Amino acid sequence: MKAYDVIIVGGGAAGFFAAINIAEQNPSLKIVLLERGKEGLQKVKISGGGRCNVTHAEFIPSELVQNYPRGEKELLGPFHQFMTGDTMEWFEKRGVPLKIEDDGRMFPVSNSSQTIIDCFLSEAKKKGVAVLYNHSVKSIKKKQDLWELGTTEQVFTARKILIATGSNPKIWNLLERLGHTILQPVPSLFTFDIKDSRIKDIPGVVAKNVVIKVVDSHLESEGPLLITHVGMSAPAILKLSAFGALELAKHNYKFQIKINFIKQTFKDCLGDLKEFKQELAKKTVFKFAQYELPKRLWQQLVLASNMSMTTTWADTNKQQLEALAAQLTEAVFKVTGKSTFKEEFVTAGGVDLKEVNFKTFESKLCEGMYFAGEILNVDAITGGFNFQNAWTSAYIAAKSIIE
């Protein structure tokens, strides 16, 4: 049996961040980090397409929380303690400057996730954290005020433990046995599979700002839309997939969406089209894209409105103009499934937030047991917010553990 002051379970983003902060704030504590893999930080490595989108340039807590479909209410207090600006400072102080991209995402200046990994590994080593790989935790028990964790290798004891195992069903099962409620995991952040003649031949086309509604639902989002080889992606879709994670899972990822490509009402658009009919009478509708839409998308919407490639504005009849206005403002697409968004994906579900004290990230049911990261029922839209949850929860848990 090996005795420590603190045991961290899981060598991912949250586990390493917590271990380093604990060791830094109280160097006298004996800390061990148990990681089941032969290496840790594997998600950090592949994150953000290998660049690691560390956080997001949103510096107001009440705005920041709006990016969390699960965790919005609970993270407001924690973000007042540690948030995006603190993350920047934390990494910069340790020799990893971050940069902000146009869309607000923050990456290491090096553009490589390895920089983050190297920073964590060297900090953990410098601060004397014992990092043990190939140590999968199989049991969690409490004997009097001491936690006893059984791994594939040996048994470890400590007064305080931090569970940072991400979306791991086996650990969730162990926590259920300790009395915790686990909300069923479902995927979040996925792209939509759509087979439709209007988009079949135009992968790569981007509509800069669209509004998408899920038919027969309150789900709605706004932002850029990308046509892919299998359907649709980009922020407007990913936001829907996150905020609709539970609802869309219930529909088995089969539903309809309505897209407004030009953010105008059908009526206003029809008014515009009638004016075009006068002003552009001799021009072919197909050739000249309107509303600053990408030409290839415009052409597909025109063809879907019962017009040919040679129809001029003067030739158009009432039904054709109405059909085009409908295609531009309320085009319906049938979603038949989902695909993985390779740059980032997460799981909705996990430890019920009602059972966690968000001032300390300690379990309300098991004294001395803390949580950080994706193990909790917290997840965010794409853009660096998921890692920010890992940093914030790990930082506050670390602070509470040393107190």
Ligand X SMILES: Cc1cc2nc3c(=O)[nH]c(=O)nc-3n(C[C@H](O)[C@H](O)[C@H](O)COP(=O)(O)OP(=O)(O)OC[C@H]3O[C@@H](n4cnc5c(N)ncnc54)[C@H](O)[C@@H]3O)c2cc1C
Question: Which residues in this chain contact ligand X in the complex, by CB under 6 A?
Answer: 9-15, 34-37, 40, 42-43, 46-48, 52-53, 136-137, 164-166, 168, 170-171, 343-346, 373-375, 384-387, 390
What minimum distance in Å lies between the beta carbon of 213 and ligand X? Answer: 27
One-letter amino acid at 189 equals L
Half-sphere exposure of 353 (CA within 13 A, CB side): 17
User: Smallest distance, Å, CB 24 to ligand X?
Assistant: 18
The nearer residue to ligand X, 129 or 205, going by C-beta atoms, is 129
Query: How far apart are alpha carbons 280 and 312 in whole angstroms?
Result: 8
The letter for the amino acid at 262 is: I
Compare residues 242 and 302 and give the one whose CB is closer to ligand X: 242
- What is the Cα–Cα distance from 8 to 245, expressed in whole angstroms? 29
Cβ proximity of 170 and 382 under 8 Å = no
Residue (40 or 349) nearer to ligand X, CB: 40
Angle at 188 between CA 72 and CA 338, to 5 degrees: 150
Q: How far is the CB of 152 from ligand X (least distance, A)?
A: 9
For the four alpha carbons of 324, 329, 334 and 335, in that order, the dihedral sign comes to: positive
d(CA 7, CA 165): 12
**Which CB sits closer to ligand X, 225 or 375?**
375
State the nearest-atom distance from the C-beta of 105 to ligand X, in Å: 8
* Cβ-based nearer residue to ligand X, 12 or 244: 12
Our CB check for ligand X shows the closer of 162 and 212 to be: 162
Instruction: Write down the least CB distance from residue 189 to ligand X, Å.
Output: 8
Compute the least distance from the CB of residue 59 to ligand X, in Å.
16
113 - beta bridge partners?
none
The answer to whether 79 and 58 are in contact (CB under 8 A) is no
- Angle between helix 385-402 and helix 13-25 axes, rounded to 10 deg: 30
Write the DSSP assignment of 213-271 as a string of letters.
Answer: EETTSS-EEEEEEEE-SSEEESHHHHHHHHHTHHHHHHTTT-EEEEEESSSS-HHHHHH
- Write phi, then psi, for 191 (nearest 5 degrees): -100, 165
Distance in angstroms (rounded) separating the CA atoms of residues 376 and 389? 10
Which position has the token pair 């005020």? 145
Least distance from C-beta 304 to ligand X, angstroms?
A: 35
- Please say which residue, 257 or 376, places its beta carbon nearer to ligand X: 376
CA distance 149 to 140: 5
Is 156 exposed, middle or buried (CB count within 10 Å of its CB: 0-12, 13-18, 19+)?
Answer: buried
177 secondary structure, DSSP code: H
As measured in angstroms, the least distance from the Cβ of 353 to ligand X is 15
Q: Which residue is nearest to ligand X (CB)?
A: 12
Which residue's entry shows tokens 């006068």? 278
CB 329 → ligand X: shortest distance, Å? Answer: 34
Nearer to ligand X, 190 or 333 (CB): 190
Judged by beta carbon, residue 171 or residue 348, the one nearer ligand X is 171
In the complex, least distance from residue 176 CB atom to ligand X, rounded to whole angstroms: 14
CB nearer ligand X, residue 140 or residue 324: 140
